[in-house]
């Protein structure tokens, strides 16, 4: 019934401490599963990494409880593009290509003041990043590309800043690793220890128009909450991304969400606006997406029946949506619930068919399969189930049009 629209990929290279334990992972842009290096390093690449890591694969799946190092361009540092995540797990890595000026230094100071850890990537003494040494927590030094004498001198200069942790990167031979240890580096990264691993996941692309509409609502003088929720729920991919963002551990939110409505409330206007902006930037190469009318119809039908069964309609919508999207992606619903960190009730319904929500989902599945014996045995009259379906079809038609084409 459903077809996936593609896969997303992110590179992950470990950073080890002196004991050989993983200290963190650097997250890297990858355009496809077979890519060995990035062919993009600009704002698009950073946006795609953030969207993929936080809302599609999941930061816990990628990094566990370890730190994740994310490369940033000037646009993110000075606030032209947002950083919609909590400071606890993310290290902001400033690319060596960022030219320092008063705006960048002030912005980095502000981020450090908020508690973000700052890393200087490919640091070379004398190229202008010295004002950031007081603000940084990590300095990454290219062992492969730095002559031995200059390498020792750079380490000695950095050690004057006692708060800095030094990361030896581009370690490609045992000799490189041995030299880095002799020089007293704190952390180590390179092919001799671990090559970047490409992590992939099946994914959906939200309608570009839906993202534009959402952003326009969020920057207006008044925020129509019902319209925001309605717009998000009309696009399955957008719904999943925002629920995953709301449930991401790095956001530091106090509870797990079970519906789009809860996600919107917990994220708040500022974070919603930030995620919508990043989605637009990260999907600039997306030629257009087909609306997933079947997924919307199932979710709406679950919501309609929930009202008749005195169940929470928003959680029912989520159960219908996630079950349909799992079919679309060709993966078990259990895997998707882990990525989304859904509530116990929603997860139980999706994975085991447990509880009243599981019973509701079974009823909808029976209707879709024209399983008359099961429909006749259900607690709801068949006529009511049929009305719920017809309303769902009409609802979907109003949102995506009769053909379900691109928006």
The 3-state secondary structure of 290-359 reads CCCHHHHHHHHHHHHHHHHHCCCHHHHHHHHHHHHHHHHHCCCHHHHHHHHCCCHHHHHHHHHCCHHHHH
Please give the backbone phi and psi of residue 404, each rounded to the nearest 5 degrees, phi first. Answer: 65, 35
Q: Does the residue 309 lie in any domain?
A: yes
Q: Does the residue 2 lie in any domain?
A: no
CATH number at residue 316: 1.10.3210.10
Residues 26 and 121 in one domain: yes
Q: What is the pLDDT of residue 376?
A: 83
Q: What is the pLDDT of residue 38?
A: 43
Q: Which residue has the higher pLDDT, 55 or 313?
A: 313
Lowest-pLDDT range of 175-179, 321-325, 385-389: 321-325
Boundary residue ending a domain (157, 178, 201): 201
Boundary residue ending a domain (138, 168, 201): 201
Boundary residue ending a domain (171, 201, 231): 201
Residues 185 and 174 in one domain: yes
Residues 197 and 50 in one domain: yes
Lowest-pLDDT range of 7-16, 144-153, 287-296: 287-296
Whether the pLDDT of residue 212 is over 80: the answer is no
Q: At 265, is the pLDDT very low, low, confident or very high (cuts 50, 70, 90)? A: confident
Alpha carbon distance 77, 50 (integer Å) = 14
How many C-beta atoms lie closer than 10 Å to residue 34's C-beta?
9
Q: Does the residue 300 lie in any domain?
A: yes
Q: What is the pLDDT of residue 2?
A: 39
Q: What is the pLDDT of residue 4?
A: 42
Residues 170 and 237 in one domain: no
Segment 115-140 shows an average pLDDT of 94
Segment 365-376 shows an average pLDDT of 85
Residues 191 and 219 in one domain: no
Residues 196 and 228 in one domain: no
Alpha carbon distance 137, 69 (integer Å) = 12
Residues 55 and 165 in one domain: yes
Q: What is the pLDDT of residue 253?
A: 61
Residues 262 and 131 in one domain: no
Q: What is the pLDDT of residue 325?
A: 75
Q: At 202, is the pLDDT very low, low, confident or very high (cuts 50, 70, 90)? A: low
Q: At 40, is the pLDDT very low, low, confident or very high (cuts 50, 70, 90)? A: very low
Q: What is the pLDDT of residue 210?
A: 65
Q: Which residue has the higher pLDDT, 104 or 2?
A: 104
Residues 81 and 93 in one domain: yes
Q: What is the largest CA-CA distance in the chain?
A: 82
Task: Report whether 139 contacts 118 (CB < 8 A).
Answer: no
Residues 301 and 370 in one domain: yes
Q: At 198, is the pLDDT very low, low, confident or very high (cuts 50, 70, 90)? A: confident
Q: Does the residue 1 lie in any domain?
A: no
Angle 230-232-235 from CA coordinates, rounded to 5°: 110
Percent of the chain whose pLDDT exceeds 70: 78
CATH number at residue 135: 3.20.20.450
Segment 401-405 shows an average pLDDT of 41
Whether the pLDDT of residue 288 is over 50: the answer is no
Q: Does the residue 157 lie in any domain?
A: yes
Residues 258 and 238 in one domain: yes
Segment 288-301 shows an average pLDDT of 66
Residues 248 and 132 in one domain: no
Domain that holds residue 277: 204-407
Q: Report which DSSP code applies to 124.
A: -
Q: What is the pLDDT of residue 399?
A: 52
Going by C-alpha positions, the residue among 35, 13, 32 that lies closest to residue 23 is 13
Alpha carbon distance 215, 231 (integer Å) = 11
DSSP 22-60: EEEEEEEE-SSTT-SS-S--SHHHHHHHHHIIIIII-HH
Tens digits of per-residue pLDDT, 244-262? 878 775 556 666 777 888 8
Q: At 115, is the pLDDT very low, low, confident or very high (cuts 50, 70, 90)? A: very high
Q: Which residue has the higher pLDDT, 407 or 71?
A: 71
How many structural domains comprise the chain? Answer: 2
Q: What is the pLDDT of residue 229?
A: 83
Q: What is the pLDDT of residue 32?
A: 47
Segment 284-304 shows an average pLDDT of 65
Q: Does the residue 77 lie in any domain?
A: yes
Q: Does the residue 227 lie in any domain?
A: yes
Q: Does the residue 140 lie in any domain?
A: yes
Whether the pLDDT of residue 82 is over 60: the answer is yes
């Amino acid at each position: 019934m459903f077809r996936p629209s593609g896969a997303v990929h992110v590179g992950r290279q470990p950073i080890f401490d002196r004991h050989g334990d993983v200290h963190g992972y650097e997250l890297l842009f990858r355009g496809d599963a077979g890519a060995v290096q990035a062919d993009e390093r600009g704002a698009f690449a950073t946006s795609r990494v953030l969207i993929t890591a936080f809302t599609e694969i999941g930061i816990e799946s990628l990094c566990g409880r370890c730190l994740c190092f994310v490369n940033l361009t000037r646009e993110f540092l000075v606030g032209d593009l947002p950083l919609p995540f909590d400071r606890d797990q993310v290290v902001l890595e400033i690319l060596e290509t960022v030219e320092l000026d008063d705006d960048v230094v002030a912005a980095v100071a502000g981020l450090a003041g908020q508690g973000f850890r700052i890393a200087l990537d490919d640091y070379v003494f004398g190229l202008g990043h010295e004002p950031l040494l007081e603000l940084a927590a990590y300095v990454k030094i290219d062992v492969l590309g730095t002559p031995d004498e200059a390498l020792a001198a750079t380490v000695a200069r950095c050690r004057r800043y006692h708060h800095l942790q030094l990361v030896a990167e581009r370690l490609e031979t045992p000799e490189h690793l041995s030299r880095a240890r002799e020089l007293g580096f704190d952390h180590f990264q390179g092919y001799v220890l671990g090559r970047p691993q490409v992590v992939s996941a099946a994914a959906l692309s939200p309608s570009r128009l839906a993202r534009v509409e959402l952003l326009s609502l969020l920057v207006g003088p008044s925020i129509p909450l019902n319209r925001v929720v309605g717009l998000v729920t009309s696009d399955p991919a957008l719904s999943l991304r925002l629920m995953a963002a709301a449930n991401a551990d790095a956001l530091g939110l106090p509870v797990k969400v079970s519906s789009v409505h809860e996600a919107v409330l917990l994220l708040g206007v500022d974070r919603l606006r930030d995620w919508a902006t990043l989605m637009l930037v990260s999907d600039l190469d997306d030629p257009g997406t087909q609306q997933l009318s079947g997924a919307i119809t199932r979710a709406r039908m679950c919501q309609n029946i929930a009202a008749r069964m005195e169940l929470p309609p928003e959680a029912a919508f989520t159960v219908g949506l996630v079950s349909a999207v799992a079919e679309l992606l060709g993966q078990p619903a259990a895997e998707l619930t882990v990525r989304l960190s859904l509530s116990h009730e929603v997860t139980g319904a999706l994975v085991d068919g447990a509880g009243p929500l599981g019973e509701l989902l079974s009823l909808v599945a029976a209707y879709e399969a024209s399983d008359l014996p099961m429909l006749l045995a259900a607690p709801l009259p068949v006529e009511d189930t049929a009305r719920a379906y017809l309303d769902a079809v009409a609802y979907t038609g109003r949102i995506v049009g009769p053909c379900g084409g691109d928006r």
